[in-house]
């Protein structure tokens, strides 16, 4: 049971971080399908920092350096979406999809290049960070506490306060609802959308490094993040683009994802004798069913997905 809670919390943290990223981007009016790619790149940034940090460095330094690495790479990668979709008015779906493919391909090429440069026989796409990873973990009894759970809660508070209690957040949401009106009162729509996408880069990058650290073994970069970026989008839709509801949705989805890791620990589940693949499918099936029931009365930002053109009316 403890194990289930532990895994639920860590997967929920991943989903919460990434879904909040998507939330910022969509409130500003840009659909961010590329979250998956941003996650992979953020994970790469964080993992590389962990690889090159000396193993003996204090935990605090290690945590902050890793986070900064993940955030920087995530933000840098999200610029690709911002440039194409805000300044060049490209189709947000194509660019987002390209970013997902690009993220996995680029990360694999970079990791393999580093590995082969160190040792020509090493063609794996993994980065060694097992000993460095311990900085993030804190054992309380048999419960393995992960600092990312705190980071996710902080991100939730940050998102709530920024979106609803600051001038910036309200302006950002105005750009996603009615950019022309926002522009007419002197808000720079392009700047606001850039801000939205870059914040999603920050949160997506954090979610990425959190995801690969949640696994027990080293992560193979060829595999990407197994659709987590899209699960996060489903969480966001289920949460109706509101941070607090997103948090609850993330917990629910996180639990189903966690079940596939720990179902063997429950005697009544093993007694059912369902193949493990079914548990792997579960989060995706649940999200489809949930989406089918919640999308009808969707409260999506009105202008999302439409490139803003100053000249149009």
Q: Which is nearer to other proteins, 33 or 182 (CB)?
A: 33
* Rounded Cα gap, residues 205 and 247, in angstroms: 18
Q: Which is nearer to other proteins, 89 or 191 (CB)?
A: 89
What is the closest distance, in whole angstroms, from the C-beta atom of residue 136 to other proteins in the complex?
Answer: 24
Residues that bind other proteins (CB under 8 A): 33, 80, 84-85, 88-91, 93-95, 97-99, 101-102, 104-106, 108-109, 112-113, 116-117, 120, 123, 222-224, 226-227, 230, 233-234, 237, 275, 277-278, 280-281, 284-285, 287-288, 291-293, 295-296, 298
* Rounded Cα gap, residues 96 and 111, in angstroms: 22
- For the chain, give percent helix, strand, coil, nearest 5: 75, 5, 25
Q: Which is nearer to other proteins, 113 or 157 (CB)?
A: 113
What is the closest distance, in whole angstroms, from the C-beta atom of residue 86 to other proteins in the complex?
Answer: 12
Assess contact for 75 and 24: CB atoms under 8 A: no
Beta strands in 104-230, from DSSP E residues, in sequence order: 137-140, 143-146
What is the closest distance, in whole angstroms, from the C-beta atom of residue 89 to other proteins in the complex?
Answer: 6
What is the closest distance, in whole angstroms, from the C-beta atom of residue 116 to other proteins in the complex?
Answer: 7
**Residue 102 corresponds to which tokens in the numbers above?**
């690009």
Phi, psi dihedral angles at 140 (to 5 degrees): -110, 100
Q: Which is nearer to other proteins, 40 or 49 (CB)?
A: 40
Burial class (CB in 10 A: 0-12, 13-18, 19+), 210: buried
What is the closest distance, in whole angstroms, from the C-beta atom of residue 5 to other proteins in the complex?
Answer: 25
How many residues make up the chain in this entry? 313
Tokens 């989406």: give the residue.
291
Q: Which is nearer to other proteins, 53 or 226 (CB)?
A: 226
What is the closest distance, in whole angstroms, from the C-beta atom of residue 18 to other proteins in the complex?
Answer: 14
Q: Which is nearer to other proteins, 80 or 151 (CB)?
A: 80
Which of 1, 196, 187 has its CA nearest to residue 86? 196
Tokens 């986070």: give the residue.
67
């Amino acid at each position: 049971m403890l194990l289930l809670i532990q895994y639920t919390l860590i997967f929920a943290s991943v989903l919460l971080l990434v879904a909040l990223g998507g939330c910022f981007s969509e409130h500003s009016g840009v659909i961010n399908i590329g979250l998956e790619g941003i996650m992979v790149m953020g994970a790469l940034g964080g993992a590389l920092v962990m690889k090159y940090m000396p193993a003996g460095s204090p935990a605090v330094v290690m945590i902050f350096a890793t986070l900064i690495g993940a955030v920087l790479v995530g933000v840098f990668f999200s610029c690709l979406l911002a440039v194409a979709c805000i300044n060049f008015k490209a189709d947000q779906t194509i660019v987002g999809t390209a970013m997902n493919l690009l993220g996995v391909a680029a990360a694999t090429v970079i990791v393999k290049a580093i590995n082969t440069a160190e040792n020509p026989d090493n063609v794996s796409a993994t980065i060694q960070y097992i000993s460095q990873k311990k900085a993030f973990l804190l054992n309380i009894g048999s419960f393995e506490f992960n600092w990312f759970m705190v980071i996710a809660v902080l991100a939730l508070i940050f998102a709530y306060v920024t979106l609803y209690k600051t001038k910036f957040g309200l302006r950002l949401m105005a750009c996603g609802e009615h950019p022309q009106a926002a522009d007419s009162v002197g808000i720079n729509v392009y700047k606001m959308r850039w801000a939205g996408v870059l914040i999603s880069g920050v949160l997506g990058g954090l979610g990425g490094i959190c995801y690969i650290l949640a696994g027990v073994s080293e992560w193979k970069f060829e595999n990407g993040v197994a659709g987590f970026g899209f699960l996060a989008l489903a969480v966001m839709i289920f949460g109706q683009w509101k941070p607090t509801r997103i948090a609850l949705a993330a917990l629910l989805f996180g639990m189903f994802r966690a079940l596939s890791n720990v179902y063997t620990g429950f005697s009544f589940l093993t007694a059912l004798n369902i193949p493990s693949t079914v548990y792997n499918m579960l989060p995706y099936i649940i999200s489809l069913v949930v989406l089918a029931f919640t999308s009808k009365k969707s409260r999506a930002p009105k202008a999302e997905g439409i490139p803003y053109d100053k000249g149009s009316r």
